[in-house]
Structure 1
Amino acid sequence: MGDRNTNGRPAGDGTADEADERTPLTNAASSLGNMGSIRNMGKNSKGKPLYEDDRAWVRWPMNFLHLTWATLASNYVNVLLVFVPVGIILGALDMNPTAVFCVNFVAIIPLAALLSFATEELSVKLGQTIGGLMNATFGNAVELIVSIVALTKGEIRIVQSSMLGSILSNILLVLGCCFIASGVRRSESTFNATVASTMSSLMAVAATSLIIPATLYASLTHSASSSEKNILILSRGTAIILLILYCLYLFFQLKTHAKLFDAEAETGEDGEPAEPAEPEILGPIPASICLVIVTLLVAVCAEYLVGSIDAIVESAGISKTFIGLVLLPIVGNAAEHVTACVVAYKNKMDLAIGVAIGSSMQIALFVTPFLVILGWIIGQEMTLHFQSFETVVFFLSVLVVNYLIQDGKSNYLEGCMCLGTYIIIALAFYVYPDDAGDIGSMVKGFFVQ
């Protein structure tokens, strides 16, 4: 390919850090040793690579192979893509439910990484505003697809626990790992406290939107009114308000206060202009095609995954709540987890905070309300009335995170606090049975005389 690389820039251009930030786990094919030789797929008689040949019948198929390799080589975790066809075949043949669950569980991990990669590539051309919307939508695409599939099957508990689990894994597990990753190289890291405080305040609003339905349910225990109907009306109205707040936040972040959120992008750690953005590997059309294909594959794998959950619950004795709250979010957020840790290790804490807390905020203010509205449309009574135990856990987690980030500084000990809190919560939900009663009925005496 001469003296130019896949991105079209001189081979020696760019730094090692730029290459490292290309993907969550590591760089693309150039770091894969002899495997990268496939990228030099030969030249024509004029010395051009075959994917730039003047003949369309040569250029198009070779360009397809070239872009496919660049996409597959974008992340080491893509070796797990072999589980995708295996999981689909096992599900289609109605094989052992445990095997179907485990294989599709693993298959979703590389698909989530490909979704993240394609979204980043598409955002390069679309600009900041539309790119931000794309990241907001596809950054949590796996959780959204799995939840939509579960919602259509009437698995409301799976939907609620996976939403809550995604939030908790981001604000505790991911944030804790970011603090530790940064803390192993420096005694203290700093980040924009104003931005972090804004995000955490919105998370507090989201926590309030879950506490109110739980409290109302406890208050209506002895009322003649239908508590389910009243909770449904409250949830749908609250969902609309949360969606409006999310749109206002996007306008705040991308338009009116964009400089506040772009402070790290404009200048580096030493006050000098930040390094230029990495050029794209995929153009808008290939990235869009990749998004569509990967989204369809995630939907198919999610279909078989959710369909096998009941058999897993019966055979393994694991509750649906634990599966939805701990296992599914770890898979869906795997790519984001690694991305946040990598940038935190490089002391780009504002970006790491944006990935961790920002993703949680998108789940709380956009995905969960959207699922309530979708349930309203398709006739499923999805509400914001979570189990009171889950609501209390969520509120306490938001409280802990608010205390840790309010000073705009972090260290490894604070990261260990977040991790410890998450492990305690995971253990609590591991022993929490699906048929546990709502603690609202236990404390109704505080509200009803």
Structure 2
Amino acid sequence: MPALENTPLLGSNGGASSEGHPTFLSSFRWIITSSWLNLFCIFIPLGIVAEKMQWDAVWIFSLNFLAIVPLAKLLGDATEQAALKLGSTLGGLLNATFGNAVELIVGVVALFQGQLRIVQTSLIGSILSNILLVLGMSFAFGGVHFTENTFQQTAAQASGSIMMLSVVAIALPAAYQGGAVAELFGKDPSTQPGSTEAGILFISRGTSVVLLLVYMLYLFFQLKSHAFLYEGEEGDQEEEETPQMTPLAAVVALGVITVITSFSADYLVGAIDETANEYGIPKAFISTILLPIIGNAAEHTTSCLMAYKGKMEIAIGVSVGSSIQIAMGLLPTLIIVAWIIGQPLTLYFQTFETVVLVSAVILVNSLIQDGRSNYMEGMMLFSLYVVAALCFWVS
């Protein structure tokens, strides 16, 4: 995934030494001044101060909410720079690991706070945001510049099939729950051996292990054995990027930004309940719609820019690829982590959430099967996202 293109705060050469090669110090100068979005970094210390000074929950939530914007951007930039020296396979794996770092941090923080519904809804929201909002806007932006965009059909179909597998696996616990409830209808549940909750927990943990194994196989398929399927057309290859950071500086930056993000996410999640209750904002709307939009802001921009330039393979890789990472990598990982620390996190989502997720994937698959896109298809995806957001507002 290429680095996000933004207007730098300083000159374009802000990171290079006199010989044109980045140094450790100039690397940090570059990452700090590479985008106007980094002006939002002022909210990082303000969010920390708000928490330490015990300001009202709405201030803690708002300031740390805004702080996530530049942190997500900085994580993306550092990941891209670290990946440049690792080659396509390791670079792709690094992107897979850090591409959804904000969602991972928010999920782990919420998990340790016992906010299991926030973990579930934020991940569902991230998937919906990527395949409906991001992909929809990418199709629309590409359709503004080109009458019709084309992309690698076989790779798109493979990604769509993997996505369908993951959402069907996620939907199975809900189907099991529905069957168990129907079987117990008119009976005394206390007389039945075992419990539905224990069954859902067992299914979720076993399914998570299977999904992780399939995801690792998919990474090998995408990055090694069938990498040629995910490359753009020969005439669309980009010129090689010039590194703006040293590998060591990029890794150090990743570590520092991840630690800072964990603090901001901790304060943000801790203020959700009080903010939702005090201002009448549905908790489901905050975790399913607002948090994913902010956490994926950099990826959203990258995808739309690439689509506008006609590079739909990259745009689809950002949106659909990120959703696959969450559904088959991040969500199962968090369930296993919850298993280890004794938290009963499961793959059982409410019926409405399951229906929306499956419907979204079916719509996306129907639109990408022909290897072509236009602005009307983008508006279809965006309209479904708006309808889902309205439903989460009243849920």
Measured against the shorter chain, the TM-score band is over 0.9
In the superposition, relative to structure 1, how do residues 275 and 206 fare at CA in structure 2: closer, same or farther (>3 Å)?
A: closer
Could you tell me how far 1:268 is from its partner in structure 2? 1.9
Could you tell me how far 1:202 is from its partner in structure 2? 1.0
The CA distance in 2 between the partners of 1:241 and 1:431, in whole Å, is: 35
The answer to whether 1:236 aligns with 2:205 is yes
Name the aligned partner's letter for residue 188 of structure 1.
E
The CA distance in 2 between the partners of 1:350 and 1:64, in whole Å, is: 33
Could you tell me how far 1:378 is from its partner in structure 2? 0.6
In the superposition, relative to structure 1, how do residues 346 and 230 fare at CA in structure 2: closer, same or farther (>3 Å)?
A: same
Q: Residue 382 of structure 1 is aligned with which of 345, 348, 355?
A: 345
Is the contact between residue 40 and residue 49 of structure 1 (CA under 8 Å) also seen in structure 2? no
The answer to whether 1:324 aligns with 2:304 is no
Matched with 1:227 is 196
The one-character-per-residue Cα deviations of 1:343-395 (angstroms, maximum 9, x if unpaired) are: 10000001101111000010000000001000000110000001111001101
Could you tell me how far 1:319 is from its partner in structure 2? 2.1
Is the contact between residue 82 and residue 91 of structure 2 (CA under 8 Å) also seen in structure 1? yes
Counterparts of 1:329-348 in structure 2, within 5 Å, are 329-348=292-311
Is the contact between residue 23 and residue 74 of structure 1 (CA under 8 Å) also seen in structure 2? no
Q: Residue 11 of structure 2 is aligned with which of 36, 44, 47?
A: 36
Is the contact between residue 173 and residue 418 of structure 1 (CA under 8 Å) also seen in structure 2? yes
Counterparts of 1:17-28 in structure 2, within 5 Å, are 23-28=3-8
Q: Tell me which protein shows more helix as a share of its residues.
A: 2
Give the total of aligned pairs: 386
Stretch moving more, 290-299 or 200-209? 200-209
The CA distance in 1 between the partners of 2:250 and 2:276, in whole Å, is: 38
Matched with 2:51 is 91
Partner SS state of residue 240, structure 2: coil
In the superposition, relative to structure 1, how do residues 134 and 376 fare at CA in structure 2: closer, same or farther (>3 Å)?
A: same
Could you tell me how far 1:114 is from its partner in structure 2? 0.4
In the superposition, relative to structure 1, how do residues 387 and 37 fare at CA in structure 2: closer, same or farther (>3 Å)?
A: closer
In the superposition, relative to structure 1, how do residues 38 and 179 fare at CA in structure 2: closer, same or farther (>3 Å)?
A: closer
Q: Residue 298 of structure 1 is aligned with which of 261, 267, 274?
A: 261
Partner SS state of residue 184, structure 1: helix
Alignment gaps of 5+ in structure 1: 1-20, 42-47, 53-61, 433-449
Could you tell me how far 1:27 is from its partner in structure 2? 4.4
In the superposition, relative to structure 1, how do residues 123 and 323 fare at CA in structure 2: closer, same or farther (>3 Å)?
A: same
Matched with 2:271 is 308
Name the aligned partner's letter for residue 174 of structure 2.
A
The CA distance in 2 between the partners of 1:37 and 1:115, in whole Å, is: 20
Could you tell me how far 1:206 is from its partner in structure 2? 1.1
Could you tell me how far 1:22 is from its partner in structure 2? 6.7
Name the aligned partner's letter for residue 186 of structure 1.
F
Could you tell me how far 1:276 is from its partner in structure 2? 2.8
Is the contact between residue 24 and residue 248 of structure 2 (CA under 8 Å) also seen in structure 1? no
Matched with 1:111 is 71
Identity score, percent: 47
- Greater C-alpha radius of gyration: 1
Matched with 1:159 is 119
Name the aligned partner's letter for residue 127 of structure 2.
I
Partner SS state of residue 11, structure 2: helix
The CA distance in 1 between the partners of 2:13 and 2:235, in whole Å, is: 36
Counterparts of 1:8-87 in structure 2, within 5 Å, are 23-28=3-8, 32=9, 35-36=10-11, 39=14, 49=18, 65-87=25-47
Name the aligned partner's letter for residue 199 of structure 2.
N
Is the contact between residue 137 and residue 304 of structure 2 (CA under 8 Å) also seen in structure 1? yes
Could you tell me how far 1:175 is from its partner in structure 2? 0.4
In the superposition, relative to structure 1, how do residues 40 and 355 fare at CA in structure 2: closer, same or farther (>3 Å)?
A: closer
Matched with 1:250 is 219
Stretch moving more, 127-136 or 239-248? 127-136
The one-character-per-residue Cα deviations of 1:218-240 (angstroms, maximum 9, x if unpaired) are: 22121623001010000000000
The CA distance in 2 between the partners of 1:66 and 1:403, in whole Å, is: 47
Q: Residue 268 of structure 1 is aligned with which of 198, 223, 235?
A: 235
Matched with 1:195 is 155
Q: Which structure is higher in RCO with an 8 Å CA cutoff and minimum separation 6?
A: 2
Is the contact between residue 211 and residue 391 of structure 1 (CA under 8 Å) also seen in structure 2? yes
Would you identify which runs of 4 or more consecutive aligned residues in structure 1 move more than 6 Å?
Answer: none
The one-character-per-residue Cα deviations of 1:392-419 (angstroms, maximum 9, x if unpaired) are: 1101111111111111111011111111
Is the contact between residue 157 and residue 320 of structure 1 (CA under 8 Å) also seen in structure 2? no
The answer to whether 1:349 aligns with 2:292 is no
Is the contact between residue 15 and residue 30 of structure 2 (CA under 8 Å) also seen in structure 1? no
Could you tell me how far 1:38 is from its partner in structure 2? 9.5
Stretch moving more, 146-155 or 221-230? 221-230
The one-character-per-residue Cα deviations of 1:19-65 (angstroms, maximum 9, x if unpaired) are: xx97424144xxx5xx4399499xxxxxx85999xxxxxxxxx9554
Counterparts of 1:359-438 in structure 2, within 5 Å, are 359-432=322-395
Name the aligned partner's letter for residue 345 of structure 2.
M
The CA distance in 2 between the partners of 1:283 and 1:363, in whole Å, is: 29
Stretch moving more, 313-322 or 352-361? 313-322
Name the aligned partner's letter for residue 218 of structure 2.
Y
The CA distance in 2 between the partners of 1:249 and 1:394, in whole Å, is: 21
The answer to whether 1:211 aligns with 2:165 is no
In the superposition, relative to structure 1, how do residues 63 and 236 fare at CA in structure 2: closer, same or farther (>3 Å)?
A: same
Partner SS state of residue 282, structure 1: coil
